[in-house]
Structure 1
Amino acid sequence: MTDRSARRDELGHALRALDDRVDAACRDAGRRRDDVHVVVVTKYFPRSDVDLLLELGVRDLGENKAQEAQAKLVDEGALPADVRVHFVGQLQSNKAALVAGFADVVHSVDRPKIVRALAKGAGEGHDLTALIQVDLDGEDPGRGGAAPGAVIELGDQVVESGLRLGGVMAVAPRGADPAEAFARLQDLSARLREAHPEAKIVSAGMSSDLEQAIAHGATHLRVGSAILGSRESHR
């Protein structure tokens, strides 16, 4: 068996195992499996892994770093038209135009400056969806996110900018109960939908806490290590 075949088998097995986890979590939560989507985060992994994931049916890819994503997902060859690229990392305003050029969904919109920069970068004819990243911690500014009280106003600004408002995103605080954090995000999502009914996406849950996220309304899971393995050897 070639290295490529072995890696394909490895990724296929991991995708099936993850699908079993998501199926079970949806059953436990009384939710439809079709309402939960997996974004495979390929940060630090090569384009060869991306191509194998595409062969295996993955159509939602996530990246954290603007320049890495541009190099891997654009410069190394165009992706199929039905693939959705999700930018899930913290975004600096000076990289927003770059990200707006290749991303379909940006999960980390947390301040008006980012809204304006993405709208300018997207320009006419590019349907870019923005998710408002919510800071559920308040003690770790390095992780980004808008204060919960600022979500509605920021959502208004996204709509006014011409971007598509998709919903909300959050990362569970370190050391906290993820179920409690995702319950708060679910409440904020409901409040945002009162003002903007189209904002239905709840991006929450990663490899370690996806069950809790599904139990509290997550529609999109950002999963990397459970599928691709440890990133440390790929840095």
Structure 2
Amino acid sequence: MENTESRNTAFEDIGQRISKAAKASRRSVSDIELVAISKTRTADEIRPLLDRGHRVFGENRVQEAAGKWPELRQDYADVELHLVGQLQSNKAADAVELFDAIHSIDRLSLVKALAKAMDKLDRRIPCFVQVNIGEESQKGGCAIEDTASLISQAQAAGIKVAGLMCVPPSNVSPAPYFALLAKLAKGNGLKGLSMGMSGDFESAIMLGATHIRVGTALFGERSSAG
């Protein structure tokens, strides 16, 4: 009961912070989608948010999402599920079948796999091109200089490119990286910006985020066991 109450309080707090950041940047709060990151969370942990009426969730792995969301969707049919983690090309068909948006297109081989899966399943879902905005070798995302080309390749393959996504370097101010992603999106005629997480989503909103990916601030710290 206590965990449920704390999550309800966190949900309200996040909503207020989103509204405040939107107002400060003279934006409409309706233009900002809160993607509740439910990776590693159980169905019982997720249900309180669903019961509060939230319907947009994000997962990192196809297999994990497939293990809990089909059952949850039996009770909450209008859930919108986003894949925000790296996607292997051999999981493209599973991803297209399960998710309603994909935030991690980062290479041509994945574009081809997703386009083939969408054609086969006759299901078109919006996708974001992930940019390695901090040029970090350990992170996914296409190179900044390859962004325009990958966008064009995805669009040519019949994929709706909704915008760009990034994960800035940690332990530095994310604002310059958010600003760069916004500039890249504008230069390529894209409006969607998937950027900002629990620790920096207000900065992301100020710089144009349309989708913020918040997990820890909503659900609390993960246990050391998982």
Calculate the TM-score normalised by the size of structure 1: 0.90
Residues 76-85 or 92-101, more deviating: 76-85
In the TM superposition, residue 233 of structure 1 has moved relative to its aligned partner by 4.1
Q: Determine the structure 2 residue equivalent to 1:203.
A: 194
* Pairing of 1:181-220 with structure 2 (within 5 A): 181-193=177-189, 199-220=190-211
Q: Determine the structure 2 residue equivalent to 1:196.
A: none
In the TM superposition, residue 187 of structure 1 has moved relative to its aligned partner by 0.1
Q: Secondary structure at the match of 2:82?
A: strand
Preserved CA contact (<8 Å) 1:203 1:222: yes
Q: 1:234 to 1:98 in 2, by over 3 A?
A: farther
Residues 163-172 or 74-83, more deviating: 74-83
Is there any run of 5+ residues in structure 1 with no aligned partner, and where? 194-198
Deviation digits for residues 53-111 of structure 1 (CA, Å, limit 9, x no counterpart): 11111111000011101111125654634221100011111222221110111001000
Work out the CA distance in 2 between the residues paired with 1:76 and 1:34. 25
Is there any run of 5+ residues in structure 2 with no aligned partner, and where? none
In the TM superposition, residue 153 of structure 1 has moved relative to its aligned partner by 1.3
Preserved CA contact (<8 Å) 1:44 1:234: no
Q: Which runs of 4+ in 1 moved over 6 A?
A: none
Preserved CA contact (<8 Å) 2:97 2:121: no
Preserved CA contact (<8 Å) 1:41 1:63: yes
Q: Determine the structure 2 residue equivalent to 1:95.
A: 91
Work out the CA distance in 1 between the residues paired with 2:47 and 2:158. 32
Preserved CA contact (<8 Å) 1:45 1:234: no
Q: Secondary structure at the match of 1:106?
A: strand
The answer on 1:226 being equivalent to 2:223 is no
Work out the CA distance in 2 between the residues paired with 1:13 and 1:157. 43
Residues 74-83 or 153-162, more deviating: 74-83
In the TM superposition, residue 120 of structure 1 has moved relative to its aligned partner by 2.0
Calculate the TM-score normalised by the size of structure 2: 0.93
Residue number among 13, 17, 23 corresponding to 1:21 in the alignment: 17
Deviation digits for residues 165-199 of structure 1 (CA, Å, limit 9, x no counterpart): 11100011123221111010110010111xxxxx3
Q: Secondary structure at the match of 1:205?
A: coil
* Pairing of 1:1-235 with structure 2 (within 5 A): 5-74=1-70, 78=74, 80-122=76-118, 123-138=120-135, 140-193=136-189, 199-233=190-224, 235=226
Work out the CA distance in 1 between the residues paired with 2:51 and 2:132. 36
Work out the CA distance in 1 between the residues paired with 2:210 and 2:178. 12
Residues 73-82 or 93-102, more deviating: 73-82
Preserved CA contact (<8 Å) 1:133 1:168: yes
Question: Aligned residue pairs: how many?
Answer: 225
Preserved CA contact (<8 Å) 2:56 2:82: yes
Work out the CA distance in 2 between the residues paired with 1:217 and 1:77. 31
Work out the CA distance in 1 between the residues paired with 2:11 and 2:94. 30
In the TM superposition, residue 43 of structure 1 has moved relative to its aligned partner by 0.6
In the TM superposition, residue 136 of structure 1 has moved relative to its aligned partner by 1.0
Q: 1:38 to 1:76 in 2, by over 3 A?
A: closer
